[in-house]
Amino acid sequence: MSKTAKRTNPELWEACKKEALDKMGKFSARAMQYAVKLYKDRGGEYLGEKTSDNSLVEWTKEDKKKQKKDNE
C-alpha cells in the first residue's frame, strides 16, 4: 500500500506545483504544502488514504506545535 494518496488530476497538480514553486522560489516542504492547499482549493481530489506517518503530515504537526508555543 502506498504511503500517500494518489492525485486524481495530475494536470491540476502540476499547475499548482509550478505556481507554488514560482512563489516560494525553490522546492521545499513549505512549497509543497502550499501546492497541496492550492490543489485542494481548486477542486483537486485524492484516491486512497494518506497515512499518519506521511512526512508532510508530521512536518505540519511539528510546525503547528512550534507556532502554538511561539504564541504563548
Please state the pTM of the whole predicted model: 0.66
Q: What is the pLDDT along the chain (72 residues), one digit of tens a residue?
A: 446 678 999 999 999 999 999 999 999 989 999 999 999 999 999 998 766 666 666 666 776 777 776 777
Contact call for residues 8 and 45 (beta carbons, < 8 A)? yes
SS3 category, 6? strand
Query: What are the cell numbers at 20?
Result: 507554488
**Cα separation values, 18 from 13, 49, 60, Å:** 8, 24, 21
